[in-house]
Amino acid sequence: MKVEPIQDNDPNYPPLEEYVVELHVPPAQQPVRLDVYVTEAIRHATRTRVQEAIEAGMISVNGHAAKASYRVQPSDRIVCRLLRRPPIELIPENIPLNILYEDEDVLVVNKPAGMVVHPAHGNRAGTLVNAVLHHLGMREPITIANSDELDDDSESLLLVSAAVRPGIVHRLDKDTSGVMVVAKHEIASERLARQFADRRVHRIYRAIVWGVVRHDEGRIDAPIGRSSRNRKLFAVVERGGKTAVTTYRVVERYPFATLLELKLLTGRTHQIRVHMAHIGHPLIGDSSYSGDRLAWGGLQSKHLRTRAQQCLETIHRQALHAAVLGFYHPRTAAYMEFLSPEPSDFVQLRRQLL
């Protein structure tokens, strides 16, 4: 059975744990392949992982090893010895926060690039949530139930336990910098989450994209779904996607790049990155969506190609910054707006483009 690479003493990659699932086939069960039956019987199991477990001898039928093609019979006893990651613990960590505003209901922070918002498999420590928990005075770890059943990129990780606070009502990608609001209690969380759902939150992003964007303003209305090439990435899709709308305005044009201000009318994962790549202007430095190479065909001169390569060496992430966040205070209903200055790598990239 394939096992994830584990780094010694790395809290993000704890050793896998074995657990046993015993299945008793009901008398009325129709004959079906063993791998199909086990996949359907165990929640969140995938057929590929089940087949790997069978090949490794970790799944037996009536006390004997069996092949994936074995036809399950009524009253069979199937024992599955499987590996899973231990539950995620939210451990308060004394990590400095750049706080823009704080009261008894909300905390507004300026998240740096490189910081993950909430713990997930492979990012169990050093996240914004770990830092905020410590800031709020918590010291004891909080175990998230059933965290082994969640995907690495699950956006609802913190929603599986009502005891988990603070309330993460929106998120930024790991390598996106900028302003975020965190709810300190359940009522604030519910009211802020409703604002995001009802699109009453004002958000402006700044991005530097490859190529000279032709129109001064534009609107991208294209549904987004899982990429068929890589399930951890997203793409504009013709069927099965979710509505996604982004508007943009040109702030400044450079010889081979453009500085944009963008507004989200919806909040899909990677929305700006996917939409800009879709129209042929990927974000500079975006390794997931073709922005980590010279992605514009107008670089005909050696001088421009050299400058473009220097830009890639300046910013080691997607050039995306959450510059403005406005919302209505969950207690007073007063409108509040916060600005996050461009981080140093973003500023340096702009200078190189002049």
Q: In 3D, which of 282, 103, 99 has the Cα closest to residue 180?
A: 99
Mean pLDDT in residue range 43-53: 85
- Are 80 and 93 within one domain? no
How many domains does the chain divide into? 3
- Are 274 and 348 within one domain? yes
pLDDT at 232: 85
Mean pLDDT in residue range 197-205: 94
Judged on CB neighbours under 10 Å (0-12, 13-18, 19+), 242 is: middle
Please indicate whether residue 10 is annotated as part of the active site: no
**Domain annotation covers residue 10:** no
- Are 104 and 191 within one domain? yes
CATH number at 104 reads 3.30.2350.10
pLDDT surpassing 90 at residue 300: no
Where is the domain boundary, 57, 84, 111? 84
- Are 80 and 134 within one domain? no
CATH number at 41 reads 3.10.290.10
CA distances from 65 to 34, 61, 79, 227 (A): 11, 6, 10, 37
Where is the domain boundary, 44, 60, 84? 84
The residues near 252 (Cβ < 8 Å, ≥ 6 apart) are: 258, 259, 350
**Domain annotation covers residue 109:** yes
Report percent pLDDT > 70 for the chain: 88
Which range has the worst mean pLDDT, 92-101, 286-295, 329-338?
286-295
- Are 95 and 75 within one domain? no
pTM of the model: 0.76
Q: Residue 30 and residue 206: Cα distance in Å, rounded?
A: 58
Among residues 35, 148, 173, 286, the one annotated as catalytic is 173
The residues near 81 (Cβ < 8 Å, ≥ 6 apart) are: 18, 19, 20, 53, 58, 59
Q: What is the pLDDT of residues 105-161, one digit of tens each?
A: 999 999 999 999 988 767 778 899 999 999 988 888 877 654 444 444 333 333 333
Look up the domain containing 126 and give its range: 89-197
**Confidence grade of residue 326 (pLDDT, cut at 50, 70, 90):** very high
